[in-house]
Amino acid sequence: MEMESLRDLFVEQLKDLYSAENQIIKALPKMIKAASSEELKSAFQEHLEQTKGQVERLDQIFEELDESPRGKKCKGMEGLIAEGKELMEEDAEEDVLDAGLIASAQHVEHYEIAGYGCVRTYAQLLGMDKAAKLLQQTLDEEKETDELLSGLAENINVQAEEEAA
C-alpha cells in the first residue's frame, strides 16, 4: 500500500479500525456469556449493538473515500482479544473473572480511543467534515463505554477483593 500522504495514512488506519471493530463484534458475545454480573452483561450487550453502528459509520466513510475497508488485520486488537480469551479459559471465581473482563474491555476501549482520536484529527485536516463528525461520534461512544466500565468496576472490584475473605 502506498504511504505518501496523510490521506494514505488515514485510509490505512481506517482499515485497521475496521478490522478491529469486526474482531470485537466476534469477541463480545463470548464476553457476555462469560460475565456473571447482569449489569456487566448488559453493558457488553449494549456496546455490541453500538459497535455494529460504528462499523456502519466506517462503511460510510470508505464509500465517501471510494476505498475498500478490507485488506488489513488489526494485530493490536488480535493481541488484546487473545489476552481476554486466555483470561476466560482460567478457572476463575465469578467476581474475579468479571473484574478481569472489565480490565480486558477497558484495554480494548483505550486502544480504540487512541485510534479514533487520530483518524478524527486526520479527517479534520483533510477537510472531510462529515467523516470527522462520524469518527467523533464513535470516539464519544468509546469514551462513554470506558467510563461506564469504570463505574461498574467500582463495585465488581470490591466484590472480587472480598471473594477470598
**Where does this chain bind Fe ion (CB under 5 A)?**
51, 54, 112, 142
The x, y and z cell numbers of residue 73, run together, are: 488485520
Which one, 96 or 148, has the nearer CB to Fe ion?
A: 148
Residue 20 beta carbon to Fe ion: minimum distance, rounded to whole angstroms:
7
77 within 8 A of 109, measured Cβ to Cβ: no
Shortest distance, CB of residue 44 to Fe ion, whole angstroms? 10
What share of residues in the chain are helix, strand, coil (percent, to 5)? Answer: 85, 0, 15
Q: Is the CB of 97 or the CB of 108 nearer to Fe ion?
A: 108
Residue that has been written with the C-alpha cell 488485520 in this structure: 73
Residue closest to 101 by CA, chosen among 56, 12, 37, 18: 37
In the bound state with Fe ion, the residue whose beta carbon lies nearer, of 16 and 142, is: 142
Minimum CB–partner distance for residue 151 and Fe ion (Å): 16
